[in-house]
């Protein structure tokens, strides 16, 4: 489908949707616990639905009523013989592959693009600990054998989701598990989020920094304990688009339901917007931004690569040069985001270039209308909608329905902030 966006600045107040990153982790922990857990998460997405269906296939029983997921642990249900379908969710696959290996194996399948996203470092680590896997990451793949405890060694310049998957599986193993990750560790805040959720479910890891590595140790006899209830916090990743919109708008935008103490990596959006010169206001449970003359900046996104689609329209419109560094992992997302970000914005009049693993922008006064393709990437569709608010004519986004992957209500909230959008078939 095609979204036609008219160039109208956004402004107002909007509630944050629940964090997809936190929901994935909480649902897996709940499914592995000793008793049922009620998880408050008022919205879902295609990625969360993929995790739910895979956990159900592993034997968990999950019901939902008015935004409350009641999760009965895997031990209470019956495993389904069919494959675990991860659809397009990299988090689902990377989190559950080690968990399934700890439980005795499973077959995974997913969308074609998911097979293209790297998985081999995690597969090698699992193979070194007693697991047989019949491909090097191509789907479908079958895991057989049972994962054994011990020391897992991973390079630091890979997805933090591999570390999260092993952390989630470790309490299921017979013996002490040590996960050694070479420094520097990319996307470390996402590992911190995993550790925070694990702590809520009774699992604590010892963290040691030595010999150029960060080691996460989970002692033998650890066991998941249900907290009874868990409330998923507001999502900084998707709120970042609205906060960036506020930085482009004289009216400004406030997002409510965000915790300033959250471990989510994309809380860094506030610092990034400040570097661009936007006005940023904070309270204990909300964040607000407004336009105050945007200037170019140098921003390292190695710990928060998902922020780049949100800040890229600001980089395109800020006075002077902007360098977005540490962006190598963008090549491995739902699309090659280095290419799709620069290509999409350049089609609307930006001056963006790729230099090694950096995005470099020379600021322009205004973007123009036109047609772009979302590249089947939810964050590219959101970025294009944000950029369209500062264009001099309508922008047509082909394949814009892909926002449902993480934020099914994106365009409804876009309209709630004053955006002008209509669907064309």
3-state helix/strand/coil string of 237-255? HHHHHHHHHHHCCCCCEEE
Residue 219 burial by Cβ neighbours in a 10 Å radius (0-12, 13-18, 19+): middle
Element of type H or E holding 317: helix 308-317
Write down the residue that tokens 């017979």 correspond to: 174
* Two tokens, residue 119: 């998985």
What CA–CA distance (Å, rounded) separates 218 from 186? 21
Contacts of 292 (CB under 8 A, 6+ apart): 277, 278, 279
Contact 413, 406 (CB under 8 A): no
* Closest C-alpha among 350, 259, 373, 268 to residue 310: 268
Contact 389, 367 (CB under 8 A): no
Of the listed 47, 235, 306, 373, which one is catalytic?
A: 306
Q: What angle do CA 256, 238, 50 make, to 5 degrees?
A: 120
Element of type H or E holding 311: helix 308-317
306: annotated active-site residue: yes
* Closest C-alpha among 260, 197, 257 to residue 233: 257
Under DSSP, the state recorded for 377 is -
* Two tokens, residue 400: 């814009």
Written as one string, the DSSP assignment of 174-239 is: SS-EEEEEESSPTTHHHHHHHHHHHHHTT---EEEEETTEEEEEE-TT------SEEEPPB-HHHH
List active site positions. 306
């Amino acid at each position: 489908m095609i979204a036609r966006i008219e160039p109208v600045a956004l402004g107002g107040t909007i509630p944050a949707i629940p964090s997809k990153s936190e929901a994935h982790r909480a649902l897996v922990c709940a499914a592995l616990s000793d008793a049922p857990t009620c998880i408050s998460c008022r919205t879902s997405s295609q990625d969360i639905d993929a995790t739910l269906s895979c956990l159900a296939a592993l034997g968990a029983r999950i019901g939902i009523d008015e935004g409350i997921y009641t999760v009965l642990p895997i031990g209470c249900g019956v495993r389904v013989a069919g494959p675990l379908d991860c659809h397009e969710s990299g988090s689902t696959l990377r989190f559950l592959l080690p968990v399934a290996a700890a439980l005795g194996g499973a077959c995974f399948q997913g969308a074609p693009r998911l097979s293209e996203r790297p998985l081999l470092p995690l597969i090698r680590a699992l193979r070194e600990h007693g697991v047989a896997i019949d491909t090097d990451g191509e789907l479908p793949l079958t895991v057989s054998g049972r994962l054994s405890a011990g020391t897992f060694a991973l390079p630091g310049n890979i997805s933090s989701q591999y570390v999260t998957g092993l952390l989630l599986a470790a309490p299921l193993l017979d013996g002490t598990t040590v996960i050694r990750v070479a420094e520097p560790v990319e996307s470390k805040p996402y590992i911190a989020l995993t550790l925070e959720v694990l702590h809520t479910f009774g699992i604590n890891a010892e963290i040691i920094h030595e010999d150029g590595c960060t080691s996460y140790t989970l002692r033998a006899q650890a066991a998941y304990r249900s907290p009874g209830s868990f409330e998923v916090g507001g999502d900084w990743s998707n709120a970042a688009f609205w906060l960036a919109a506020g930085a482009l708008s004289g009216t400004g935008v406030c997002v409510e339901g965000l915790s300033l103490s959250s471990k989510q990596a994309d809380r860094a959006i506030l610092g990034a917007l400040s570097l661009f010169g936007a006005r940023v206001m904070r309270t204990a449970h909300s964040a607000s931004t407004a336009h105050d003359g945007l200037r170019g900046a140098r921003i390292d996104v190695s710990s928060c690569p998902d922020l780049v689609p949100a800040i890229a329209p600001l980089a395109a419109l800020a006075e002077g040069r902007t360098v977005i560094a540490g962006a190598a992992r963008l090549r491995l997302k739902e699309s090659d985001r280095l290419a799709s970000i620069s290509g999409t914005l350049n089609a609307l009049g930006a001056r963006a270039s790729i230099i090694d693993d950096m995005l470099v922008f020379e600021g322009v006064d205004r973007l123009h209308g036109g047609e772009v393709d979302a590249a089947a990437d939810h964050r590219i569709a959101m970025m294009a909608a944000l950029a369209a608010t500062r264009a001099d004519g309508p922008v047509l986004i082909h394949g814009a329905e892909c926002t449902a992957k993480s934020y099914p209500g994106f365009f409804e909230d876009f309209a709630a902030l004053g955006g002008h959008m209509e669907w064309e078939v």
